[in-house]
């Protein structure tokens, strides 16, 4: 059984969601729906795209979404956030990336590659010594599964910047239509921005200007590699929601700096592994009513920016999405988990102004187990695997089934690595 396009109530309905958006002269997105990055975990053992990953993006492209952002593609195969991350480096097979890009461009769709480096957010079964701006371990119980990082040297920082640029140039060559820099959710660039995680006393740390230097250098190198007429966007935290971390005030200054330097689109998110606000942790009741987790921040940012702004997290109904666009708080609506449950959701939202999707609360009833298995992430990865295999998503899959599958997978991987 495959995922088929659903019947449409009114395919010609004109709404704020259906209007195209210009990104650069001659480059536009056909509608205001933006598939935000999700971890797919659909690379093979060599960390290149599989046929399942390619099929997944072809399905999403046929589903009508205007812009698809890939799950985080790592720029260095020695620094993986998860076991089956895609990696784009000198050892990667170009043919499979070309097929991935071609699948994502179907149906006049934009497909942007998200580039990332995890920094210290690498599980200890993948790395005994991760790297970070400073030797500051993750907290909130994560120190049990993530090793304390080693501080990056100057030469290593410069080399990572070079890798970002190299991967971006290859993505353009392979047919991806844009790049998104992942500077959110506690990964390496976000670690540099955070005064909690970045305690350096050289040109890469201390003041916001210094903490921002790494991101500016990454962006500058990428821009130099792809040219001024190729879209480059960024995913940035509104805040880390962590004591002593990257603040809303810092974030506003970063946005304005990036705009002045030519970034083409900004996606707003928030949180990190220690405080996962991006998946709805500690959300206020007023936020739930508006659906979008970071809409208040977006409204403030929108008043200072001229480039497109995207908010991801919380949107569930066509009505709330249209209201956010009409209010001018955002220019695009970011969707992630809803598209993992229904890859054709965009068709339904565009054709029916009353359409909404409900996502169930995921829990085994044992919070520590949910946290250890990263249930809010892995359950959705398993949905993506089903779609990639040509099966329908399974919205009623139990939390217990997901956790058991995750633990079995991690145990198998750890065993294989011990045997290697």
- Please enumerate in sequence order all residues whose Cβ is within 8 A of that of 63, keeping only pairs 6 or more positions apart, or say none: 5, 339, 343, 344, 345, 346, 347
Q: At what angle do helices 295-302 and 248-260 cross, to 10 degrees?
A: 40
SS3 253: helix
Q: What do you get for the CA distance between the two ends of the chain, in Å?
A: 37
pLDDT digits (tens, 9 = 90+) for 160-213: 999 999 999 999 999 999 999 999 999 999 999 999 999 999 999 999 999 999
Q: Which residue has the higher pLDDT, 142 or 214?
A: 214
Q: Which of 4-8, 187-191, 286-290 has the lowest mean pLDDT?
A: 286-290
Decide: pTM greater than 0.85.
Answer: yes
SS3 90: coil
Q: Match 């085994």 to its residue by tokens.
A: 364
Task: Give the pLDDT confidence score for residue 412 in this predicted structure.
Answer: 58
Task: Give the pLDDT confidence score for residue 283 in this predicted structure.
Answer: 46
pLDDT digits (tens, 9 = 90+) for 71-130: 999 999 999 999 999 999 999 999 999 999 999 999 999 999 999 999 999 999 999 999
Comparing CA positions, the residue from 394, 391, 339, 342 lying closest to residue 2 is 391
Task: Give the pLDDT confidence score for residue 14 in this predicted structure.
Answer: 86
Task: Round the average pLDDT of the chain to a whole number and report it.
Answer: 90
Between CA 332 and CA 96 the distance in angstroms is 29
Q: Which fold has domain 16-359?
A: TIM Barrel (3.20.20)
Query: How large is the greatest C-alpha to C-alpha distance in the chain, in angstroms?
Result: 60
Q: Match 């998860």 to its residue by tokens.
A: 82
Rounded to whole angstroms, what are the CA distances from 93 to 44, 87, 88, 116, 117?
A: 11, 10, 9, 19, 20
Between CA 83 and CA 85 the distance in angstroms is 6
Q: Which of 230-234, 305-309, 311-315 has the lowest mean pLDDT?
A: 311-315
pLDDT digits (tens, 9 = 90+) for 391-408: 999 999 999 999 998 888
Between CA 112 and CA 188 the distance in angstroms is 20
**Conformational region of residue 280, where left means phi above 0, alpha means psi within -120 to 50, and beta covers everything else:** left
Comparing CA positions, the residue from 45, 61, 59 lying closest to residue 96 is 45
Between CA 191 and CA 121 the distance in angstroms is 10
């Amino acid at each position: 059984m495959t995922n088929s396009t659903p019947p449409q109530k009114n395919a010609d309905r004109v709404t704020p969601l259906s209007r195209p958006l210009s990104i650069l002269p001659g480059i536009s997105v056909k509608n205001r729906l933006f598939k935000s990055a999700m971890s797919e975990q659909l690379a093979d053992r060599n960390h290149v795209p599989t046929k399942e990953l390619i099929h997944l993006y072809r399905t999403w492209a046929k589903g009508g979404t205007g812009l698809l952002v890939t799950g985080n593609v790592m720029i260095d195969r020695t620094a993986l956030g998860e076991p089956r991350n895609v990696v784009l480096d000198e050892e990667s097979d170009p043919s499979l990336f070309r097929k991935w890009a071609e699948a994502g461009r179907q149906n006049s769709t934009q497909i942007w590659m998200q580039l990332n480096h995890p920094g210290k957010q690498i599980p200890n079964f993948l790395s005994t010594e991760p790297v970070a701006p400073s030797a500051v371990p993750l907290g909130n119980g994560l120190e049990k599964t993530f090793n304390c990082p080693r501080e990056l040297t100057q030469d290593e920082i410069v080399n990572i910047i070079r890798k970002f640029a190299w991967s971006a140039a290859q993505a353009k060559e392979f047919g991806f239509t844009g790049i998104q820099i992942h500077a959110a959710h506690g990964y390496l660039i976000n670690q540099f921005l955070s005064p909690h995680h970045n305690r350096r006393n050289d040109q890469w740390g201390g003041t916001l200007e210094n903490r921002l230097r790494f991101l500016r250098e990454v962006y500058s190198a990428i821009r130099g590699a792809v040219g001024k007429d190729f879209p480059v966007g960024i995913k940035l935290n509104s805040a880390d929601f962590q004591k002593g971390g990257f603040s809303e005030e810092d974030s506003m200054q970063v946005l304005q700096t990036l705009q002045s330097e030519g970034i083409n689109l900004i996606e707003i998110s928030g949180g990190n592994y220690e405080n996962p606000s991006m998946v709805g942790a500690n959300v206020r009741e007023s936020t739930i009513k508006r659906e979008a987790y970071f809409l208040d921040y977006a409204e403030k940012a929108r008043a200072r920016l001229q480039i497109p702004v995207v908010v991801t997290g919380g949107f569930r109904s066509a009505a709330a999405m249209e209201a956010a666009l009409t209010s001018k708080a955002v220019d695009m609506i970011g969707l992630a988990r809803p598209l993992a449950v229904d890859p054709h959701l965009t068709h339904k939202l565009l054709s029916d102004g009353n359409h909404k999707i409900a996502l169930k609360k995921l829990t085994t009833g044992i919070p520590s187990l949910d946290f250890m298995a990263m249930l809010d992430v892995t359950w959705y990865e398993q949905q993506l695997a089903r779609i990639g295999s040509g099966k329908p998503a399974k919205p009623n899959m139990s939390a217990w089934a997901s956790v058991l599958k995750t633990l079995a997978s991690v145990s198998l991987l750890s065993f294989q690595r011990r045997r290697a």
